[in-house]
């Protein structure tokens, strides 16, 4: 087998992991999760979950990856015994499911970017903004941009770790941050800014108490999705790491960037939505939130065309750096396990994912079907299995690996292990149960109505 690649520079790994974490989850999914979860109440629970479950959970994936230097399937086969050895296959299935719809949604952003170039945004009233979204999100156009986006992802991954992923993300991450700051500054000048900040920042504890059953899985699912946890991305990226890295420090850096960017997106998006359509609109928005409200806003304001181009282009880049991490999991498995070259491995995996995404381009019900299955079930299950494995089955290996690269870990390794063993397991089990219940309701409700119609 050819020698396994590693990151070329110390920051390469950080950039790649941040690039993976920051994506549609932060910019498309986060605002509508905030909307569904009642604004600031959601934000509070989400931030809490990032700290108490996201942080220990990302370390779980890091130690597995760096310990084995293998793709997730191989990593678990070499670390574990018995049924634990097969968890990696679950990740491959999850990767396929995420990528299939992720690429379609990313394609919408590419399309909106192209609209900015060719026509500009001319949908100032909400109805025509919604009509535009309808024509972009389903049918031939959606299929075409799904092809365009998948081709870009395949192109980057086929080139490899150093020349493809590492170079691409070093440019994308700073670009994303700069553009969001510009948009947030613009948002601050709008008349609805004050109302938007109140909606976004002052939590109603009554909402948390009354709706924890929906808030909990929503916030936990979002925490896992946004940190790219539960399907082996962080295992894969850490597998290209040397033993001198301080994993705790790297985890904090990555989480800091991801969370900061999500919060920043709120500052950019909510003033625009609320100025345009009122505070009720923020709560009603769903998958089309950023498309309809923002395209309308960009049609309305001076300089909107440039801002819109910047915004949709940025999101497309952010989505690209995330999508490459998902495809990389599948590709690294094919390369390691079957000893084939990177290019054919990428072509095969990418084409399979492309086919799976085709139904999503034709009817949005398939988006809910896949997104719910991934976030309510697959990611939580994947994370739970990893946490149980590292916390209870192979704790010594985990603690030992965490200590490498840290000068004096002291008691922190044990504290981490206990966080993993109990709070993390409890939150994940509760989330999984609520998530399954919610998804079951979707299947027996909206989905069976759709089947019957």
Residues found near ligand TRP in the complex (CB under 6 A): 20-21, 23-26, 98, 225-226, 228, 230-231, 233, 322, 325-326, 379
CB of 407 to ligand TRP, least distance (A): 31
User: How buried is 1 (Cβ within 10 angstroms: 0-12 exposed, 13-18 middle, 19+ buried)?
Assistant: exposed
Residue with nearest beta carbon to ligand TRP = 25
- Residue closer to ligand TRP (CB basis): 364 or 374: 374
Cα separation of the two ends of the chain: 53
H helix or E strand, kind and range, residue 255: helix 247-277
CB of 165 to ligand TRP, least distance (A): 12
Residue length of the chain: 453
Report the C-alpha gap between 199 and 212 in whole angstroms.
18
- Residue closer to ligand TRP (CB basis): 228 or 299: 228
Of 318, 311, 306, the residue nearest 293 (C-alpha): 311
- Residue closer to ligand TRP (CB basis): 233 or 432: 233
CB of 228 to ligand TRP, least distance (A): 4
CB of 60 to ligand TRP, least distance (A): 14
- Residue closer to ligand TRP (CB basis): 21 or 115: 21
Report the C-alpha gap between 196 and 31 in whole angstroms.
12
Report the C-alpha gap between 292 and 63 in whole angstroms.
42
CB of 23 to ligand TRP, least distance (A): 3
CB of 262 to ligand TRP, least distance (A): 8
Distance from the Cα of residue 153 to its chain's centroid: 15
CB of 316 to ligand TRP, least distance (A): 12
CB of 375 to ligand TRP, least distance (A): 8
Tokens of 395: 């704790």
H helix or E strand, kind and range, residue 224: helix 212-226
- Residue closer to ligand TRP (CB basis): 37 or 276: 37
CB of 107 to ligand TRP, least distance (A): 14
Q: In terms of DSSP H, where are the helices of 22-86?
A: 24, 30-36, 40-49, 55-68, 72-79
Report the C-alpha gap between 39 and 219 in whole angstroms.
12
- Residue closer to ligand TRP (CB basis): 299 or 375: 375
Place of tokens 């110390």: 10
- Residue closer to ligand TRP (CB basis): 23 or 35: 23
- Residue closer to ligand TRP (CB basis): 26 or 288: 26
Tokens of 34: 């905030």
Report the C-alpha gap between 61 and 372 in whole angstroms.
23
Report the C-alpha gap between 281 and 171 in whole angstroms.
34
Q: What are phi and psi of 196, to 5 degrees?
A: -65, -45
């Amino acid at each position: 087998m050819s020698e396994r690649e590693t990151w070329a520079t110390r920051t390469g790994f950080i950039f790649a992991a941040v690039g993976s974490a920051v994506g549609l989850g932060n910019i498309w999914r986060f605002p509508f999760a905030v909307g569904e979860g009642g604004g600031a109440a959601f934000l509070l629970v989400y931030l809490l979950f990032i700290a108490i479950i996201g942080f220990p959970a990302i370390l779980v994936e890091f130690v597995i990856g760096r310990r084995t230097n293998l793709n997730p399937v191989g990593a678990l086969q070499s670390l574990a015994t018995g049924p634990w050895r097969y968890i990696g296959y679950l990740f491959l299935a999850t990767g396929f499911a995420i990528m299939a719809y992720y690429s379609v949604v990313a394609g919408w952003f590419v399309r909106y970017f192209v609209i900015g170039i060719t026509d500009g945004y001319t949908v100032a009233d909400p109805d025509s903004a919604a009509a535009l979204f309808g024509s972009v999100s389903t049918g031939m156009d959606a299929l075409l941009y799904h092809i365009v986006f998948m081709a870009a992802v395949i192109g980057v991954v086929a080139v490899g770790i150093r020349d493809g992923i590492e170079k691409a993300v070093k440019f994308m991450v700073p670009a994303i941050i700069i553009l969001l700051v510009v948009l947030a500054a613009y948002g601050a000048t709008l008349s609805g800014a004050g109302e938007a900040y109140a909606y976004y920042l002052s939590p109603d504890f009554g909402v948390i108490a009354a709706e924890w059953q929906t808030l909990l899985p929503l916030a936990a699912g979002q925490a896992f999705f946004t940190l790219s946890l539960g399907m082996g991305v962080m295992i894969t990226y850490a597998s290209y790491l040397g033993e001198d890295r301080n994993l705790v420090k790297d985890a904090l850096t990555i989480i800091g960037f991801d969370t900061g960017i999500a919060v920043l997106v709120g500052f950019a998006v909510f003033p625009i939505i609320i100025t345009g359509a009122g505070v009720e609109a923020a709560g009603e928005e769903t998958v089309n939130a950023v498309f309809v409200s923002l395209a309308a806003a960009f049609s309305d304001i001076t300089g909107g065309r440039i801002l819109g181009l910047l915004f949709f282009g940025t999101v497309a880049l952010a989505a690209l750096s995330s999508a490459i991490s998902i495809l990389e999991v599948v590709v690294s498995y094919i390369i390691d396990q079957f000893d084939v070259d990177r290019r054919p491995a990428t072509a095969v995996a990418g084409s399979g994912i492309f086919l799976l995404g085709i139904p999503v381009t034709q009817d949005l019900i398939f988006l809910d079907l896949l997104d719910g299955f991934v976030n309510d079930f697959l990611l939580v299950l994947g994370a739970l299995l990893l946490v149980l494995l590292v916390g209870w089955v192979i704790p010594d290996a985990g603690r030992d690996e965490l200590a490498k690269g840290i000068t004096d870990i002291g008691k922190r390794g044990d504290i981490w292990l206990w966080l993993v063993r109990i709070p993390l397991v409890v939150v994940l089990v509760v989330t999984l149960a609520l998530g399954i219940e919610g998804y079951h309701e979707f299947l027996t409700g909206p989905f069976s109505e759709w089947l019957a119609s």
